[in-house]
Structure 1
Amino acid sequence: MSSDAAQRPLVAILSGAGISTDSGIPDYRGPQGLWRSDPEAEKLVTYRYYMSDPEIRRRSWRMRRDSQALRARPNVAHTAVARLADSGVPVRVITQNVDGLHQLAGVPERKVLELHGTVRAVVCTRCGARTSMAQALERVAAGEDDPDCLTCGGILKSATVMFGEALDQEVLGRAMAISQVCDVFIAVGTSLSVQPAASLAGMAAEHGARLIIVNAEPTPYDPLAAEVIREPIGTALPALLDALAAGGAAATGG
């Protein structure tokens, strides 16, 4: 049993917005995405606007209050990832999403790297105190339109990486390390156009991983992929991951 486990491939899964659309969370950059339909909406998640304009913060809190992300539930693609992680195959999830649905589906926290942070927590921009988004939204519901930090009075923001903020270098470093040593790298529901996350696919391929891309639209990394799947994520990803769980690297031909 242990020798079989030792031979199983390390599978890295890079997930983007497309994996969560079936959970009712919009793809912000897609053809019908919010950033295309309402360019002003970007200001609500742009650090310099958020920090300098109280009205932007008030609108941001209203957006969070009305967001589908906190009410969304994992879909069959998330549960397929969790099933693979539970099967004994070594799995690490690198996600561009901030919705926390991989963890809700059952993937252990330690196996998930959130490149862009999480919408399920808030952080103080002054003292760094971190609390739950649910607590902050309770204050908004109670009438605070721009709740401040209860520890120091500083400005609170979602624990996500806003436009104009740098990614957490420790998280990015771990993601890069995984990309360099994995045997299979699956990019799912991501346009692979946002750096530095997109470069992880190329990094994995360059280090010998079998690159599989599951996405409705072409990506810049398609030429490097051993396999490109255009089928709906909700059917394609479970089939792919269940095959990996059943047969290891051979299930994907590598």
Structure 2
Amino acid sequence: MSKIYAVILLILTPTLAMSQGLVFNSGNSINKSTGLVEIDPAVLNESHTGSPYITEELSDITLSKIEGKTFKARYNAAHDVMEVVGEDGKHYNLVRDPELEVTFIRSGQNYRVFNLGNESNDNGFFVVLNDGDIKLLKKEIIKFYDEEFSTTGYDKAKPAKFKREKDEFYFMKDGVLSTEIPRNKKSFISLLNIDSNKENKILSYIKKNRLKLNDEQDLITLFTYININKF
């Protein structure tokens, strides 16, 4: 067995399963010693509209733990899994390993795994928008809505669907993930937990540059300023 394939066995694990025509993660506990299980690419029921993928098309990626190799992948935001095509042509889900980075070559988007801080202590994929001391992260959201049946005979039934929702933005400071970044400037400053002098400087910068805390590019500008000035 080649060294490259041995590494793949360690960081790739199958977690796709079929239930009611949908693909879902079969569990949070991942046994890395199970190796790869051959499964077919996910096939959605034709009655579903929309897509669970941020981009339906498979794109070239690099993995931080496998140097000099590229793979085809796509991110399933509905189930928070990174679907990768292995060297055997089969589709697998990447382990949610906090030390693994996934970079989409064309877009340059870098995905990493961080702890969600929920009761289940789950890990999830985030897009890293700023990799400074205080990291700016984006969580892409796609939700699944069940089929809606006609209740009166006059209203129309609606098929089950996947729907892209607004992205959510977070920051990570000292290894701790924040709650979702609020649109209110003072609420945001409070989350940063810094002294009043630094607070005033950041508030002034936001006001001067008319930055919106729900705009991706504005947030990138803001966190670049924050990290450069070591707030």
TM-score, structure 1 as length reference: 0.21
The structure whose RCO (Cα within 8 Å, separation 6+) is larger is 1
Structure of higher CA gyration radius: 2
Between Structure 1 and Structure 2, which shows a larger proportion of strand residues?
2
Higher helix proportion (structure 1 or 2): 1
TM-score by length of 2: 0.22
